[in-house]
Amino acid sequence: MRDHPVAGAWLRLHRALVFDALAPSPSAHLALAPQRDAAAEPLLRRIAAEELILVSTGGSDWLEGSGTLTKKNGDYLFNARKIFGSGSPSGDLLLTTGIYDDPGTGPTVLHFGVNMRGPGVKVLDNWRTMGMRGTGSNDIVIENVAVADAAVSVRRPKGKWHRFFDVVSPIIWPLVGAAYLGVAESAREIAVTQVQKKRDDPIVQQLVGEMDTELANARMAWEQLVTAGAADREPSLAASDEIYKRRTILGRSLVRSVYLAMEVTGGASFFRSVGLERAFRDIQGIRFHPMHERRQYQFSGRLALGLDPV
């Protein structure tokens, strides 16, 4: 797996940029997903030629969407306050959603892009958080921004699972997961270095073994996500189910492995100079990406019981 071109590239990235790799990760799938559609080539060429920085609010918008779209002369006026806009201070293009109350079909989530440097868009300076501070995931306020009907790329019912998520889910998680895996691997290296003088202690040996086992479990889940993302297969609900099971395993094992790194290191881990304190804060971020653990259990359970996923 480490020789796989996709896996190898992301392993190198998350090791080189352990704490700051998350900022580009959630938005990278926005450029990768359209590769399944030849019609997206002009957009991809523009992104490459102009070196545009993409920002996504997909993780916080998720199935429900957010923001209000009001019809005006066949197009829309958009008003919203978006949260968790990773990379927003330097972003060029915001790929986001808004809700249009369609008189015929009811609340509908529309997907489209917004020029982050245009009038009516303001990035707040409010990213004061426990961890992942380097991502600059500030709120973005949007006031009366025009959205052309022709610019809408996806239309879907509010709060329902849609094929769009089957397309992007296999691409998102190798990218986002790589950043968090890098945090956990860094924490492991710090912990092993810190406990060398106590390596004959049986409890230290057990804790290091447990930490490495959790990390191995996380790596296996991540490598399976990479394989799924690189596979040229038709997106499906069944494939998404497998993706989110592995996303849960990945997140749970990573958080546990960093906890164990703190525990085996002992009181020294409490000092910021050691580096584990930052890793412990940063790793918590994986708990807040969709699909949250209990939601995933419900999603998978409903599918197993022959029900709609949500």
pLDDT of residue 4: 41
pLDDT of residue 41: 67
| Residue pair 172/29 in contact by the 8 Å Cβ criterion | yes
pLDDT of residue 33: 53
Q: Is 161 in a helix, a strand, or coil?
A: coil
| Residue pair 94/116 in contact by the 8 Å Cβ criterion | yes
User: DSSP code of 73?
Assistant: T
Domains and CATH numbers, the chain: 21-157 (2.40.110.10), 163-304 (1.20.140.10)
Question: Which parts of the chain fold into alpha helices (H)?
Answer: 5-16, 25-32, 41-50, 58-61, 163-194, 202-230, 237-265, 276-283, 293-304
**Over 80: is that where the pLDDT of 153 sits?**
yes
pLDDT of residue 12: 46
pLDDT of residue 309: 96
Tokens for 275, please give them.
């580096």
Among 194, 180, 173, 197, smallest CA distance to 257 is for 180
Q: Is 2 exposed, middle or buried (0-12, 13-18, 19+ CB in 10 A)?
A: exposed
| Residue pair 113/151 in contact by the 8 Å Cβ criterion | yes
| Residue pair 71/113 in contact by the 8 Å Cβ criterion | no
Among 90, 159, 80, smallest CA distance to 112 is for 80
The residues pairing with 71 across neighbouring beta strands, listed in sequence order, are 76
Q: Are strands 93-102 and 68-72 parallel, antiparallel or unpaired?
A: parallel
Among 185, 172, 206, 189, smallest CA distance to 291 is for 172
pLDDT in tens, 31-83: 555 444 555 567 678 778 988 899 999 889 999 999 999 999 999 999 999 99
pLDDT in tens, 12-36: 444 444 444 555 555 555 555 544 4
Distance, in Å, from the CA atom of 169 to the CA atom of 276, rounded to the nearest integer, reads: 30
Calculate what percentage of the chain has a pLDDT beyond 70.
86
pLDDT in tens, 81-114: 999 999 999 999 999 999 999 999 999 999 999 9
Higher pLDDT, 62 or 1: 62
pLDDT of residue 10: 42
Q: Is 157 in a helix, a strand, or coil?
A: strand
The mean pLDDT value for 271-297 works out to 96
pLDDT of residue 45: 82
pLDDT of residue 19: 40
**Over 60: is that where the pLDDT of 211 sits?**
yes
pLDDT band at 255 (very low <50, low <70, confident <90, very high): very high
pLDDT of residue 46: 78
* Residue written as token pair 């599918």: 303
Roughly how many angstroms between the first and final C-alpha of the chain, as a whole number?
A: 33
Q: Helix/strand/coil (H, E, C) string of 79-142? A: EEEEEEECCHHHCCEEEEEEEEEECCCEEEEEEEEEECCCCCEEECCCCCCCCCHHHCCEEEEE
Number of residues that make up the chain: 310
**Over 70: is that where the pLDDT of 178 sits?**
yes
Among 123, 120, 53, 58, smallest CA distance to 93 is for 53
Q: Over the chain, what is the mean pLDDT?
A: 89
pLDDT of residue 27: 54
Angle formed by the axes of helices 163-194 and 237-265, nearest 10°: 20
pLDDT of residue 9: 45
The mean pLDDT value for 118-140 works out to 94
Higher pLDDT, 32 or 194: 194
